[in-house]
Structure 1
Amino acid sequence: MNVYAEPTTEGERVLKSVLGMTPHTQLSGVFVRAMGRVDGVTYAVCGGHLWRINLDGSANDLGAVDTGPASMCGNNGYVCVQAGTRYFVYDPQTDTLTEPAAGAFSDIGSVEFYGNYTVLTEAGGRLFQWSALANPTSLPGMNFSTADGKDDNLLRAFAMDGRLYLFKAESTEMWFNTGEAGADAMQRVAGGVWDIGLLSRNMICRFEGGAFIVGSDNRAHLVSSGGFQPVSTPPVESAIKLLKPQACLTYADEGHTFFAIIFKDAPAWVYDLATGEWHERAEGVNHGPWNVAASCLLGKEWAVGRNNGEISVLRRTNADGSQPLVREITSRTLRVDGQRAILREFELFLQQGYSSGTIYLQLSRDGGSTWTLPKPKAIGGQGEYGRRTIWRNLGQARALTAKIRWTEPNDCCLSTQARVVT
């Protein structure tokens, strides 16, 4: 929880803290619905308005759009926004926000840039349309087609691999740009239909070379090169089925690309593309839900939009603003041939001498059903490089599970291995 594994050059693994959240700016209203980056500038939809997020911590209200789900893309400098079921275009050159006249349909479900076109999907339908070439303010009435490979409705358009993927409720279609003009500009790839759709419209995020989705089959997939690769584990799939997934978002940290599945009432599950492993991301001392809804680069750092309207930057602060970042690790259960054994020593291997603080150990002798009270141990201060972290005389057990927890806003890496003496 709130840590991930980093392989070392020696073949071992070190557990590192996830990035903390540093408040950057507070937008008026609540619910950051979408974030996007156009020509190096970061924008957000929040509280029924379009905002420009500035590097100095300020934000500019660019005008009213609509409430409800949103998506965003660029097109030759323009900022294209779907909010609710309406479509808006912001022109940074003239600082104007307009709502273009409807084309083939008026209820818009998503927007995406593809091949110098802005592609719009129909909310609650199977039609999709595209703007005039390099002009998202013009929606010719004949520039449309139907995603009819399967009899289900569109949820999201997504461009990758030089193709346009149309994600639907129970299937996905792949289209391409023919190079023709007008109504003949788009055509479906032969055989480009899959029996996996999106669980909901926000269950998708982009990475270089593909997308991460939660599919209609209640599994997490990497989508690239026309294929779906499932990456979820049984615990992740159980969470998807039983809880309330809200959105997927991406961010990066020191060579790791992460994809987070955000839940309404539970910590997020986060997939590490570099290692193929999962961890959980939570907030607060009680490991509450990670209260974020969208992500985007802000300058050279990743930022997240929160449900309270706050834009926060992800940094190695080891804290979530003024709240502690509680990091917790639970071991597998160790058994000593079914016999009762005395636990004489339990030693962790930490990065010593660089930060001070306290780390806590809890033990379970029944597979994690009950736990002992936390047992503190000082990490050691600056310069105490040779200090060891050992708990002694911990009682008897036939089975042993260990839980490690620390909360101080200090960087503390530790090995995935421990020394146990019985």
Structure 2
Amino acid sequence: MPDVFADLVGQDEAVDTLRRAAASAAAVLRQAAAAHAAATTGPAEDDDLDALAAEAESEAAEGGGAGDPGAGMTHAWIFTGPPGSGRSVAARAFAAALQCAHGTGCGACQGCHTTLTGTHADVRLVVPEGLSIGVGEMRALVLRAASTPSGGRWQVVIVEDADRLTEAAGNALLKAVEEPPPRTVFMLCAPSTHPEDVSVTIRSRCRVVPLRQPAPEAVAEVLVRRDGVAPEMARWAAAAAQGHVGRARRLARDPEARARRDSVLAVPRRLSGVGAAFDAASALIEAAEAEAGAAVAESDAAERAALQTALGAGGTGRGAAGAMRGSAGQIKDLEKRQKSRATRAQRDALDRALVDLAGFYRDALTMALRAPVAPVHTDTAPLAEAGAQRWNAEGSLRRLEAVLECRTAIEANVKPRIAVEAMMLTLWKG
């Protein structure tokens, strides 16, 4: 069985860093157990482990050598990199290595298995379903993270998309990172360490693990090895996804995803006038809404049914009726969360379409410049070549910038329809 870092594609330097840190963390626990066994005849107590973990972290902060048990290990980490580089994969793999019974991330023990499947009692994962992570959720998480690890190793908190923390939530996390509980490790995933993504005060207390965009060859290899995708399909999907592992897997395995991509890449030849530009914008928005609706419909229905059952739906008697009458507030809160999740899903679906469109205009630009690079979308290369001849390098660049500006505007909470309509008009006019 491959170890826990096997799916971290094309990140050799990061994997080496995390392996050494996990080995140092395991050495801390072994040293504490040995010291306690020498002084007594029983297993190491939690207080002994806490004290040694704090000492090891202090040594690491002061730059302890490689022979020190704390060298390379600290209580707070930030995983940065472009979308698809594997930020959350790296965090989960590192968490599994910390919980590994052998301290190596073997991938076979119970600690590794339960961490990777999301069932480990000492690993807490925050995956924002809405547009942001609120202070209430973060305070509850920090409070739970202060408890002693039930498995006797480490308490791990992983925050995916830490750039979505509200200011108040960031402040709540900062307090915990400044004064961390013993044997608690915080792992944050964000696109970069820019203050817009992670506050400077949090950044200064964390160790950064930068990840790079994996090469298409590495992505294709993992699709073939892990997912059983045919080599030719894997190579095409890896190139079309521009190194994004999750998107490449979706394109390789989902015919509907390929159909949606084809409709997006048909946009440039449909822009024949103002009306066509607005029609294309509407089609893109509606496709994103339909994709998002299909993605969240099943989970929304399951959550609503579970809540109604918990509140006594279908029961009889005065008590059940009273419980249902008083449930309006809880149902309203659920609907609010689901609406936020649907909005996030719509924006994610739209962003995937914009990335595909940006890849097309990138191909046109490189062809206009005669750059010696392979096209992102091999199946639309003739169309991109025709566009390059018609628009030249300057026109191709303006169109590429329009797509990128649309992504930025949507991230800044501009209404997606307004941003996409403005983009389509620029693509038409050039």
TM-score class, shorter: under 0.3
Q: What TM-score comes out, normalization by structure 1 length?
A: 0.21
The structure that is strand-richer by fraction is 1
Q: What TM-score comes out, normalization by structure 2 length?
A: 0.21
The structure that is helix-richer by fraction is 2
